[in-house]
Amino acid sequence: MPTVRGTAKSVAYEDLKRAILTMERQPGSPLEESELCDRYGLSRTPLREVLQLLSGEGYVTLQLNRGARVSDMTHYTLRDFFLAAPLIYSAILRLAAQNATPAQITELKDAQEAFRTALTSGDVTDRALTNDQFHRITGHMAGNSYLQASLDRLLIDHTRIAMTFFRPNSGAKEDRLELACRQHDEMIAAIENGDEERAAELALEHWALSRDQIELFVMPAGLEAPLGAPPKQKSA
């Protein structure tokens, strides 16, 4: 879908995506055309097309006569996120279990390998990006363009949020990362066995783990969560 263009342009496209996902470019920060032209060695026309493309995918927000900014994350964003995530993640993983091809399963295993390596290496951005990649592949497996539109947007913000709690200084949370990693393994197994129920279940468990981390980060004092309950699931 992203229609990866000729090299010069695709470098800009990929690097901007990376920089936004890793919070190297912070939510809401402006993206000046001239700066990006210099950085990537493009003229304004193709660079603007990259920004349009990123805008369509939700990485960037365009404002008339005011240029582009990194899409921001407010507490409203987070509220929407908490509502949509369990719904979409479980649906995606269910479909992934139904439709995954052997080639995609291999790809997913490779991504998991990379994630595991990133966990031991301790590099924050590697952890976030390899985790992101893992979940994007499940999206490809599901192969549903409608749901993928939501998944892609969820992953943008999920990865940005994750950048905060993938930090190694979190201390006691290392075991949680290990649990997340094991859940990935179980997901692969469920997908490989075509066990859609288990896959959907794992998606929800995985989300619950992630959600707890996010809540701890957003509400460190242990406040109650008034941000909105996720809709009831019909998962058996």
Partner DNA sequence: GTTGACCTGCTTGTATACAATATGAATACA
Partner DNA sequence: TGTATTCATATTGTATACAAGCAGGTCAAC
Q: What is the DSSP string of 92-133?
A: HHHHHHHH--HHHHHHHHHHHHHHHHHHHH--HHHHHHHHHH
Q: Which stretch binds DNA (CB under 7 A): 63-71, 126-134, 145-153, 155-163?
A: 63-71
- Rounded to the nearest whole angstrom, what is the least distance from the CB of residue 70 to DNA in the complex? 13
**Region for residue 178 given its phi and psi (left: phi exceeds 0; alpha: psi -120 to 50; beta: otherwise):** alpha
Task: Tally Cβ neighbours within 10 Å of residue 232.
Answer: 6
Kindly state whether residue 210 participates in binding its own copies, applying the rule CB under 8 A. no
- Kindly tell me the burial class for residue 166, based on how many C-beta atoms sit within 10 Å of its own C-beta (0-12, 13-18, 19 or more): buried
Which of 90, 72, 78, 85 minimizes the C-alpha distance to 138?
90
- Rounded to the nearest whole angstrom, what is the least distance from the CB of residue 75 to DNA in the complex? 24
Among residues 77, 104, 164, 183, which is the contact residue for its own copies, using CB under 8 A?
Answer: 77
Structure tokens at 89: 């993640």
Nearer to its own copies, 115 or 201 (CB): 201
- Rounded to the nearest whole angstrom, what is the least distance from the CB of residue 165 to its own copies in the complex? 20
Kindly state whether residue 46 participates in binding DNA, applying the rule CB under 7 A. yes
Kindly state whether residue 202 participates in binding its own copies, applying the rule CB under 8 A. no
Q: 42 contacts which partner out of DNA, its own copies, none, CB within 5 to 8 A by kind?
A: DNA
Kindly state whether residue 154 participates in binding its own copies, applying the rule CB under 8 A. yes
Q: 234 contacts which partner out of its own copies, DNA, none, CB within 5 to 8 A by kind?
A: its own copies
